[in-house]
Structure 1
């Protein structure tokens, strides 16, 4: 069991006290990266078990279960069960039977673990609670956070949200007093937050076509020379992100989806990351016939190649959805990196969060601008979260850490605030924007989606639903105040030969509003206009476009 610092012990004791009065409670454990939130959670779980209670601990990704399993298994041994999507049906059934028989005290897993049939539930702890993976975007559409809230109310248990960068909605509830807030302001032991360098790629890139700055190259070389490890983040998989004809400007798109295909160097094919379609790359343009198709954009595979040229002797480990398809590939790759078999870990956002390697003293963000200019109201929050989290991977052991953030927009407020790891300033600024534009936490968002193979029918169905909504709002549900945006095509308007439209409603997710949506869905089921169109409703989705 971990030894807690004074600050950690205070946080743990405050959380534990909330489990003693037989009432449901919710709390936020907010600590800087490397402050030892996992140790607090471990100690809390130990106390709950001593009281004859059980607990569920949720982590956002399978990649993060490896280190968590190691830490929890060391304390709880055979009384621990692990649940995630890579388990076979038989393994999942065996695990649930063990839980049913009362052989398990702690369940650790991704979002589906929230349904684990534990009795005497004392707490549900949600680690990195801001992560989008806690929301299921497919049927059944559910939020693990909402399910956890319900279970804790039912079992009169404690719900703990844990993060260095909590979602704006969660932090707003903590600030308003709905949740108890517990802060960890210092890193555990003697380690300090890393020194952050922001590099302007417009002036400091090695060359016009290079993805590396002189500073990042020099610091990587220093780490290689001194036996230290480095982590590099590029949040795009593949080699090049699109292929374009330089003669006519045609971009190679998927025939089944309205999205450009990504070039994968390993098999020389263009691939669609939405439906899985692939075709061999050719330099002949299907539109104008010229032999001038070139690829552009940068993914993990291209960065891996560029690294190999700059540092031919470096041992490079790439982690993305393509390289971790195997059953135990996450665990095996991370263990190899932990054991020092690689010098540089390169990957998408799966390498940015929750990982704890003592020998990592350098973190590099290849392109901090990628997500910043996304057209979703959460794009600023996601950029801040990703940068803060990945910066926090450096200097977690006895060596001082450094982070290099490469950007073409070094003066950007979000990048500057993330470099300082100043969550409170970011929260205040973001809250002002959300209030001005009326976005959560100042409202809920209900997305009504329309999907079908005939675009005209899908468009007609979305308009008919909107008309039905207007009629209800001027009649039986005139008490409901709703701001409607749309209907309109989704950003990716076609996936797997199905067209997608959506209607976005800013609302209050009340019993009355849900009754309105239920009535509308019943009418949809009996209307021929919706015959070939699927209609679904998603409350507070992670992506609204």
Structure 2
């Protein structure tokens, strides 16, 4: 019988830890089970069992598992294998993957509790300072209190140093308790104290309640709601629904419960929106769509992955729906990935119409309890067949995945940046699908260069949709030469006369307008008119962005904010100029041009909550707002019937970004936002504002020439050894001391050149070389596509371990970004 279990802890540890299995847990404990284990000094974590065995570790004494949390495992067989693949490929620990994969509600952790020492007496030689006295006085009112609550009750901030000194003086004790995060949702229900077979008891009850009019009214409301009037049943009824229908107070209900006529009890209910939606047939496909669907089925016969390259508004979503139907009719499950939460909002309605309650949505704007319920529903096979979600959905416990759809597969939001694991959901989804024996469909009007290259080389299947739904023409793209307009003094603000004229005509026709500016805030910079001083973040190497609504300067990297100075802190001059423009500035400017129309703004500042997203989209769909100003959020496949004019306000800033993918990404953004115009009624118009109208990329956007952009970029990538011909790994080093960081970065790069030779570039400064007071250096490693990633990882870790043997470098943070975006 197994005596030991190797477990994953939710910590960045590069090995599994072994624990003893208590005799009483041996029978029920298995791979994928959650257990509570001690780790470190008085800390407890929820660990997941990897496997059980009989071999005690040789280098440390094993501790015992404290408890088993579930009778059955919470992971399915392929999940642990998938976690290990992600950890191996993306150079992180399985603990990092565990933290990203599991909803927080399934990860119990210990919470620090503080309690006073009743025997403590103040020592005259070591008297308490004021903060210590306040803390002890507050603490004396409670037998035990959490650190967070103690901070609130005492009114003190940053109390951990004070607790530490009081601990040294033995004035208090610290203990740990396990904190359960997930709580099932319950609701109070009411039913009769007897069953329908005893209906004769109702007559004397009516006579008894004749003088109590309100109680009689409540009983009649119950009988109506419980289906007694229609079917002679005594169903349970939600307490709140009953009180609302009867329009009486809760004391009336208590009276009936006290008389033994009704009984009250709590029942666990789902947080998911399962309102018994009935499914409807999918819309019939037109000839072009049906041909594409047939080609996808044919491609899936010998290809695991197929790329669907369909122009904007070609009806890709309807093709997805028909594909999903085929898969779920075979009893298998479907994962439908989208890059942005805003997209799930629009797609939900379309998918629910066809798939009813077998559809579930999964993303970070849902509460943690809702995410746990979706996890448990899939784990226990309670009826979910289709998951519509963002990148974290790849970690859900699918029983039998038959199809993965990655919509807008080119989007860089599929790549997790921080913290680890820095995985790409598209690439990980392809691996996940292969583990389930499922097929993967990638869809986009502007595919990633790597995906399109794989399709051209025959690695992926390839299907094209070259015409829009109902043969509506692609939008005409007109260029506004901002350099020439400013030179001729025909454009003083941020919006060209051509765009204003086209927008005005569209609005008069009752149509809608979208304006795209890929920078939030009012202005990227404010500057002193006299000495050109520009405010910078205290903790990051970036200028602060001016947000007029809050009249403050904000760092978009660390969140630092400060007031706008009344005078320049460098020279004392009082005139401070605003330079550049963000979405907030455009919103204000356009309101002056079109005061009679409703304007909405969609960016990170206005979409902090799920409801905010949904409300913005719903208002625009229902024409409550006529003009939508937004960042790249508005480019991601949103479908608005009535938009006829789209303005791209600053094409140049996208093209000039210092990154080898800048031109590819600029083309994708401009083509996608242009695709929001003229989707249903007639050809739309796009006004593209640029100071470089003759730039080859601008011409490719105007001509909707994806193939031209692809071949231009492919030549450059091949010449300079970039993807898809080579694989990239960025190595980041961080430290508070810039001198130490420079030294360690040069040392590490030298060691790596001894192994990888010319494949190493750097160390260099990234575009932002300091964030949250940590200086950053970047080393680039280019490796051939056929190189063993396991061997590369081994060589990198070996060089890192050799470097960190130097005491000066112990506190340096090193991490890796594989296939960076």
Using the size of structure 2 for normalisation, the TM-score is 0.63
Q: Which residue of 2 aligns with 1:66?
A: 345
Most deviating of 119-128 and 461-470? 461-470
Q: Quick one: distance in 2 between partners of 1:212 and 1:295? A: 16
2:315 to 36, 41, 46: 36
User: In the alignment, is the contact (CA less than 8 A) between 1:57 and 1:107 conserved in 2?
Assistant: yes
User: In the alignment, is the contact (CA less than 8 A) between 1:234 and 1:367 conserved in 2?
Assistant: yes
Q: Does 1:106 align with 2:386?
A: yes
Q: Which residue of 1 aligns with 2:567?
A: 284
Cα shift at 1:13: 2.1
Cα shift at 1:15: 2.2
1:158 to 439, 442, 447: 439
- Render the CA deviation track for 1:399-448: whole Å, top value 9, x for unaligned: 33111111111111111111221111111111111111221111111100
Which structure has the bigger radius of gyration?
A: 2
- Render the CA deviation track for 1:164-195: whole Å, top value 9, x for unaligned: 00011111110000000000011011322111
Q: Quick one: distance in 2 between partners of 1:24 and 1:101? A: 31
Most deviating of 285-294 and 148-157? 285-294
Q: Quick one: distance in 1 between partners of 2:436 and 2:607? A: 37
**SS of equivalent residue, structure 1 residue 492:** coil
Cα shift at 1:524: 4.6
User: In the alignment, is the contact (CA less than 8 A) between 1:24 and 1:153 conserved in 2?
Assistant: no
Q: Which residue of 1 aligns with 2:462?
A: 181
Q: Which residue of 2 aligns with 1:82?
A: 361
User: In the alignment, is the contact (CA less than 8 A) between 1:387 and 1:419 conserved in 2?
Assistant: no
Q: Does 1:141 align with 2:417?
A: no
2:818 to 511, 536, 539: 539
Cα shift at 1:224: 1.5
Q: Does 1:376 align with 2:659?
A: yes
Cα shift at 1:530: 2.6
Cα shift at 1:254: 0.6
Q: Which residue of 2 aligns with 1:406?
A: 689
Q: Which residue of 1 aligns with 2:290?
A: 9
Most deviating of 224-233 and 194-203? 194-203
1:436 to 714, 719, 734: 719
User: In the alignment, is the contact (CA less than 8 A) between 1:482 and 1:505 conserved in 2?
Assistant: no
Cα shift at 1:482: 4.8
Cα shift at 1:465: 1.2
1:310 to 586, 593, 608: 593
Cα shift at 1:283: 3.6
1:263 to 509, 522, 546: 546
Q: Which residue of 2 aligns with 1:485?
A: 761
Q: Quick one: distance in 2 between partners of 1:324 and 1:85? A: 13
2:331 to 40, 52, 56: 52
* Unaligned ranges ≥5, structure 1: 474-479
Counting only pairs closer than 5 Å after superposition, residues 273-422 of structure 1 correspond to structure 2 as 273-422=556-705
Most deviating of 386-395 and 435-444? 435-444
- RCO greater where, 1 or 2, for CA within 8 Å and sep 6 or more? 1
Cα shift at 1:523: 3.4
Most deviating of 515-524 and 177-186? 515-524
User: In the alignment, is the contact (CA less than 8 A) between 2:753 and 2:760 conserved in 1?
Assistant: no
**SS of equivalent residue, structure 2 residue 469:** coil
Q: Quick one: distance in 1 between partners of 2:726 and 2:653? A: 28
Q: Which residue of 1 aligns with 2:781?
A: 505
User: In the alignment, is the contact (CA less than 8 A) between 1:447 and 1:538 conserved in 2?
Assistant: yes
With over 3 angstroms needed to count, the CA separation of the structure-2 counterparts of 1:525 and 1:83, relative to structure 1, is farther
Q: Which residue of 2 aligns with 1:119?
A: 399
Using the size of structure 1 for normalisation, the TM-score is 0.95
With over 3 angstroms needed to count, the CA separation of the structure-2 counterparts of 1:83 and 1:524, relative to structure 1, is farther
User: How many correspondences in the alignment?
Assistant: 533
Q: Quick one: distance in 2 between partners of 1:25 and 1:451? A: 40
- Render the CA deviation track for 1:286-310: whole Å, top value 9, x for unaligned: 2222223222110111111111111
**SS of equivalent residue, structure 2 residue 344:** helix
**SS of equivalent residue, structure 1 residue 279:** strand
User: In the alignment, is the contact (CA less than 8 A) between 1:257 and 1:497 conserved in 2?
Assistant: yes
User: In the alignment, is the contact (CA less than 8 A) between 2:747 and 2:803 conserved in 1?
Assistant: no
Q: Quick one: distance in 2 between partners of 1:36 and 1:112? A: 26
Cα shift at 1:18: 4.9
Q: Which residue of 2 aligns with 1:250?
A: 533
**SS of equivalent residue, structure 2 residue 619:** helix
Cα shift at 1:376: 0.3
Q: Which residue of 2 aligns with 1:476?
A: none
Give the superposed CA RMSD: 1.6
Q: Which residue of 2 aligns with 1:515?
A: 794
1:212 to 474, 481, 495: 495
User: In the alignment, is the contact (CA less than 8 A) between 1:135 and 1:142 conserved in 2?
Assistant: yes
* Unaligned ranges ≥5, structure 2: 1-281
Counting only pairs closer than 5 Å after superposition, residues 451-490 of structure 1 correspond to structure 2 as 451-471=734-754, 473=755, 482-490=758-766
Cα shift at 1:467: 2.0
Q: Quick one: distance in 2 between partners of 1:491 and 1:429? A: 25
**SS of equivalent residue, structure 1 residue 178:** coil
**SS of equivalent residue, structure 2 residue 678:** coil
Q: Quick one: distance in 2 between partners of 1:368 and 1:274? A: 23
Cα shift at 1:313: 0.8
Q: Quick one: distance in 2 between partners of 1:341 and 1:275? A: 35
**SS of equivalent residue, structure 2 residue 717:** helix
Cα shift at 1:146: 2.4
- Render the CA deviation track for 1:352-407: whole Å, top value 9, x for unaligned: 22011111111111111111111100000011001111111111012331111111
1:426 to 709, 712, 717: 709
Cα shift at 1:520: 2.7
Q: Does 1:227 align with 2:505?
A: no
